Amino acid sequence: MRVRGGALAFAAHGRYDGWPCAGGLAVREGAVGRAGARTTNRDICAVGAARAMRMVFVAGLVLAVLLWCGGVRAAEAPRPDPLQGDGRVSGFYAWEGTIPATPGRLLRQERLETTLGLAHAGAQVRMLYSSTDGIDGHSAVAVSGLFFMPKGEPPEGGWPLLAWAHETTGMADVCAPSWSGYSLAVETFLNTWLARGFAVVATDYQGLGTPGAHPYMAVRPGAYGVLDSIRAVQGAFPGVGRKVLLVGYSQGAGAVFEAAAVQRSYAAELDIRGTIATGIPFSAEETAAARRAIGGLTASNLVYPLLIGLVAQQVDPSLRAADMFAEPALGLFELNRRGCVWQLVLEVLAARVTRGEGVRPGYAKALDAIAPLLAYSSMRLPQPLFVGIGAEDRDAPARLQLALVKQSCEAGTTVEAHLYAGMSHFAAVNRSVADAIRFADRVLGGEAVSPVCDPTAE
């Protein structure tokens, strides 16, 4: 039951096989509702005016309490900023009017084009939902994403839900996976989970797809986007169960780690069973020197400073590109405002500009200034953590991932770490699948996880 556009919609609690109506979610004619009666779209969408008014009144009271207590504040969508990559996506992504102060509310949805879909999905939609600005901590923002349902009928209790957080795709809105799709490797990964009976919700993150700057690698915005995507689909789609796995790769691994860290204070009602992170970044005071030198002087690893440079300008708009980057990299930095990560990688390699040639000392100062945004709020997670590490990872160096594992274990987190011999940052994702599935089966079944804090290469 939810309010949308001033109307109230009731979702059938029986078989789900339908799509939206004017006020919310409907099922096709002939589906069985909670009372066992045959239910039509009209039955589900139509509600009495008195009942709708009661819900609007209750929603108003909840909003008033949130505002009185200093909670999330309703807000207008930010103005698009082309210098931060905004634009060139459809009007679906721009929410008009006030964004609700209630995080995790589904704002709208539309069918996902087949070309962007997943082969093992029985139903798939692009969605827009409310969340909390992870930078200021209190303003409402609209975030886009995707939702995939498995084929067939949901089991008793609903499909377990996998909340997916994606890797680096770029800074421009057109790089949002809900607009541009996933890589073949990620498609393979997500299809594996769908085939095993998991529903998948996949955030784009704050400012990626939607108007406003994307705070790349800032962990709190990513965490809020993940947690509120879960709220949105659990509140709107019948057939979705309560049990949740947080799963992320690279940038997304950092987002789900922080989501697990803040879940009990931000979204305590969610039943998070465990977290799966592959290629996880680690930014802490003791890793600062390694962070500055990540990837050495190779051409491809100039890409990360270019992305981080835009975040530095979000924090300090007076910061000039020339303060951070040398002449050979300035054109690449401007490309970063409109191109996606693979275009940026190809252009950097074609230009044959190394990190050492492209980065000025001012970049290190800018990186240090935004370092608090990249740091996890706690190394102690309340649920078990799976970490998949490519031994040959140069993007999130294996030594830093192992340092995260060590610190998490020392803080009291139950960690199952795997070190995959010969695997790169990219290759470790699907190399880890079999181990991650066994981990998922254990945590969803309530079984204990045996800690592995000092993994050997396998």
Residue 197 or residue 73, greater confidence: 197
Looking at the predicted structure, is the pLDDT value of residue 138 above 80?
yes
Average pLDDT score over residue span 191-208: 98
Looking at the predicted structure, is the pLDDT value of residue 7 above 60?
no
Residue 406 binned pLDDT confidence (cut-offs 50, 70, 90): very high
Which string of b and e fits 422-454 if b means at least 16 CB within 10 Å? ebbbbbbbbbbbebbeebbebbbeeeebeebbe
Average pLDDT score over residue span 310-316: 95
Average pLDDT score over residue span 190-211: 98
**pLDDT at position 81, please?**
86
Looking at the predicted structure, is the pLDDT value of residue 21 above 90?
no
What are the backbone dihedrals phi and psi of residue 106, each rounded to the nearest 5 degrees, phi first?
-70, 120
Is residue 104 within 8 A of residue 237, CB to CB? The reply is: no
Mean pLDDT of the chain: 85
Residue 356 binned pLDDT confidence (cut-offs 50, 70, 90): confident
What are the backbone dihedrals phi and psi of residue 56, each rounded to the nearest 5 degrees, phi first?
-65, -40
Looking at the predicted structure, is the pLDDT value of residue 89 above 80?
yes
CB atoms within 10 A of CB 295: 18
**pLDDT at position 435, please?**
98
Which string of b and e fits 194-230 if b means at least 16 CB within 10 Å? beeebbbbbbbbbbbbbbbbbbbbbbbbbbbbbbbbb
Average pLDDT score over residue span 72-80: 81
Residue 79 binned pLDDT confidence (cut-offs 50, 70, 90): confident
Task: Give the least confident one: 32-41, 200-209, 294-303.
Answer: 32-41
Pull the structure tokens for residue 36.
């066992």
Pull the structure tokens for residue 258.
């922080």
Rounded Cα distance between 386 and 253, Å, is: 10
Beta partners for residue 167, in sequence order: none
**pLDDT at position 296, please?**
47
- pTM given for the model: 0.84
Residue 101 binned pLDDT confidence (cut-offs 50, 70, 90): very high
Residue 80 binned pLDDT confidence (cut-offs 50, 70, 90): confident
Residue 60 binned pLDDT confidence (cut-offs 50, 70, 90): very low
Average pLDDT score over residue span 243-266: 98
Residue 287 binned pLDDT confidence (cut-offs 50, 70, 90): low
**pLDDT at position 285, please?**
67
